[in-house]
Amino acid sequence: MTQRYLFPPAPVVALPIRGLAEQFPVQRLFFVGRNYHAHAVEMGKPVDKSAERPFYFTKSPQTLTLSGATTPYPSETANYHFEMELVMAIGKPGFRVKAEDAHDIIYGYASGLDMTRRDLQLAARDKGRPWDLGKDVEHSAVCSEVVPMPGQVIERGAIELSVNGQVKQASNVDQLIWNIREIIADLSLFYHLQPGDLIYTGTPEGVGAVQPGDRITGRVEGVGDVALTVGPKA
């Protein structure tokens, strides 16, 4: 007998895949914090890779928003920020994956935005509180279609973001503090990575605030474009 539910269950969260009719069903959304030196410095928290390990936060899969959308300017913030990021799409299970084997669980990549209530994130950070209200924001995990690149490790490529046509972020993926292999190796010590997991790899310097009506466009060389229009206040 088919399972019955008290109310309709939430739909499967998924992304289109370039060149395929099938969609990429999304499991978890992981985000690497402070993974470009110049961004860590602008956040007032420089990173010493020799003495530190990467850190992560997560967002609910329900925050995933397909590139091209118009989403409301969120409630309870006066400092809503863009962060342009390269996104990894995991295609195979992986636990305690060695860096040299990391390519094996990569299905592909996407271009993403880690939209952030910066005022609430920094207030939480400075009080030692969780970042959820600053980061796990409705509609805040913006993502392009997934580009199949199975087994490929992206080591370099321009990463750029503009607001209303004006360039705000311009860096290169070769500036990642912890690279693709190192992120998979480290994160998979804590989680059994699964097909459908997305890993946002961090943002370069130049983050900033948006206003209702702003149009954000970004790209990662060799992957593709991402866009978001900020709608009226929620």
Shortest separation between residue 88's beta carbon and Mn ion, angstroms:
13
Most distant CA atoms of the chain, gap in Å: 57
Shortest distance, CB of residue 170 to Mn ion, whole angstroms? 16
CA–CA distance, 213 with 218 (Å, rounded to integer): 16
Stretch that binds Mn ion, among 73-81, 124-132, 201-209, 212-220 (CB under 5 A): 201-209
- Closest to Mn ion by CB, 114 vs 145, is 114
The correct pick among 63, 64, 83, 113 for binding Mn ion (CB under 5 A) is 83
Residue, CB closest to Mn ion: 114
Q: Residue 63, interface with Mn ion (CB under 5 A)? A: no
Task: Work out the burial of residue 159: count CB atoms within 10 Å of its CB; fewer than 13 is exposed, 13-18 middle, 19 or more buried.
Answer: buried
Handedness of CA 94, 222, 61, 3 (dihedral sign): negative
Would you state the torsion angle of the CA atoms of residues 153, 154, 156, 161, taken in this order, to the nearest 10 degrees? -160
Show the tokens assigned to 77: 């913030």
- If binding is defined by CB under 5 A, does position 160 make contact with Mn ion? no
Q: What is the DSSP string of 57-70?
A: EEE-GGGEEETT-E
Count of residues near Mn ion by CB under 5 A: 3
Contacts of residue 136, defined as CB under 8 A and 6 or more positions apart, other chains included, come to 57, 58, 59, 60, 63
92-128 exposure pattern, b = at least 16 Cβ within 10 A, e = fewer: eebeebeeeebbebbbbbbbbbbbbbbbbbbebbeee
Minimum CB separation from Mn ion for residue 160, in Å? Answer: 16
Smallest gap from residue 199 Cβ to Mn ion (A): 11
Q: Which stretch binds Mn ion (CB under 5 A): 6-14, 173-181, 186-194, 199-207?
A: 199-207
Residue placing its CB nearer to Mn ion in the complex, 17 or 136: 136
Q: Which is nearer to Mn ion, 59 or 181 (CB)?
A: 59
- Contact string 104-123 vs Mn ion (x = CB under 5 A): ----------x---------
Q: How far is the CB of 85 from Mn ion (least distance, A)?
A: 6
CB 16 within 8 A of CB 23: yes
Please identify, using beta-carbon distances, which residue of 85 and 145 lies nearer to Mn ion.
85
CB of 34 vs Mn ion, minimal distance in Å: 9
Task: Supply the minimum distance, in Å, between the C-beta of residue 42 and Mn ion.
Answer: 13
Q: Do 203 and 85 contact (CB within 8 A), yes or no?
A: yes
Q: Does 203 bind Mn ion (CB under 5 A)?
A: yes
Can you give the binding site for Mn ion, defined by CB under 5 A?
A: 83, 114, 203
